[in-house]
Amino acid sequence: MGDNHVELLLQGLERFVQAAQGSGEVDPFYEVDRSFNSLHPPTFDSTKDFMTVEKWLASVKDKFQILRAPNEYKVELAGQLLEGHARFWWQEVKRRWDEITGPPTWEEFETEFERRYMDIMSREALHQKFVNLKQGSVTVVEYNFKFENLMRYAPDILRDDFRLRQQYLSGLNARLAQIINIPGIDTLADLMLRATTAESYESRISQASGSRNVKPRI
């Protein structure tokens, strides 16, 4: 048996093994999909809660960033997270895109998603909630949390440092606002820290005064 014949037999055997076991190449999307799901991305069903929708979209984009996910995989990865009414909605949208221009890009998915679930009226309602925010009976820490969580819905105020500080002071209890509103405070973070410190100091003074006024019971 000649060397050429042996070589041909070996090549045929190699092709047979590859055909039986597969080519040995792993689908690139499969690897990205497996890594993506290992991060436990949240699923999404239909909801009118603007902040919930915003949180879901931000979480998915954060996980894309962690994985350095290629743009051509993002739509399919996000589509797998849609459930219930949201899944039916996306299947219909995707069908229309496929018929007209082909598979949508990630940017087009975001546009369609925001148009469907992040309506302008809901955004405006959150803007008004921020503008009307008052400390009331909650602590400064709680007020600060609500203020920071809502201020992104008022970009017109957020862009102006002076207006932002005035908005914070107008919602703060008048007593605390008067104490901390002094020259030299240039940032919102400084105001928040000063308000928290002032409230803590007042609380300690009140507790100390109360303990001194307690009379022993006979």
Would you state the pLDDT for residue 75? 94
- 3-class SS of residue 48: coil
**DSSP per-residue codes, 74-113:** HHHHHHTTB-HHHHHHHHHHHHHHHHHTSSPPHHHHHHHH
CA dist 75 and 60 (Å) reads: 11
Averaged pLDDT of the chain: 84
Mean pLDDT calculated for residue range 120-142: 92
Total residue count of the chain as it appears in this document: 218
User: With bands split at pLDDT 50, 70 and 90, how would you rate the model's confidence at 205?
Assistant: confident
18 pLDDT more than 60: no
27 pLDDT more than 90: no
Residue 68's region, left for phi above 0, alpha for psi from -120 to 50, else beta, is: left
Q: Phi first, then psi: what are they for 115, rounded to 5°?
A: -65, -35
Q: Phi first, then psi: what are they for 31, rounded to 5°?
A: -65, -45
CA dist 96 and 141 (Å) reads: 48
Mean pLDDT calculated for residue range 31-59: 89
46 pLDDT more than 60: yes
Regarding pTM above 0.85, the answer is: no
User: With bands split at pLDDT 50, 70 and 90, how would you rate the model's confidence at 42?
Assistant: very high
Distance from the Cα of residue 32 to its chain's centroid? 21
Higher pLDDT, 216 or 154: 154
Mean pLDDT calculated for residue range 192-203: 89
Mean pLDDT calculated for residue range 124-138: 93
Would you state the pLDDT for residue 20? 46
215 pLDDT more than 60: no
CA dist 134 and 132 (Å) reads: 6
Would you state the pLDDT for residue 14? 57
Q: Phi first, then psi: what are they for 44, rounded to 5°?
A: -140, 130
> What proportion of the chain, given as a percentage, has pLDDT over 90?
53
CA dist 164 and 125 (Å) reads: 18
211 pLDDT more than 60: no
Q: Phi first, then psi: what are they for 82, rounded to 5°?
A: -80, 135
Strand-pair partners of 82: 44
Would you state the pLDDT for residue 213? 54
Amino acid letter for position 185: I
